[in-house]
Structure 1
């Protein structure tokens, strides 16, 4: 009985398990090395600071950037409208889609696609294929 256990542990399948475990451990050990030469230190002034007090929610927070004035907003909207008109004059106008045509396409598209798939028909190769 002892001999059979010894054979299982020290040869055969046991040997492959030990070799596999050794490979995994070597791979983990090889990937876990640390190199801090190119690391950037985190500044002590960055991030949240514990002031030891609760924030006063009655004071509005400071804004991150200056807000647009009404004149700046109107100027930017006028520039966008001018760009839109310039693009439309080049022929790049966006045309409104016909809702009825889109609904018809939605109803027929699935059936048409299945018909092409089931018949192994490729319209790119056969223009008469439908």
Structure 2
């Protein structure tokens, strides 16, 4: 239905004149809308005249938020780091370190077969040479 309205308004004799009138109105009214702003030279920034205020509304960005937890002291940081290093050394003593193959061909064959081997183990069709616990 809107196609017919547009067709009857713009496609009749004299439609070029109507289109020119509409274009002229848009050309005149569109720039006039930009002239309604105020000049920034006569305004003073609020931050320079007034300090931060607690307005009581959320969020108030002027008031620093409370700290969630106390910060660790240097002694506590050193104690935690020493504990982590001790656990790391205990894990390494158990043989928990994994060494990667050093040559490129071994890495390439691992990349080609790793996905298929993993899928076999997941699907229950595992290879006893890869997994000694396989049934």
Give the TM-score normalised by structure 1.
Answer: 0.37
Instruction: Give the TM-score normalised by structure 2.
Output: 0.36
Highest Rg: 1 or 2? 2
- Richer in helix (by share): 2
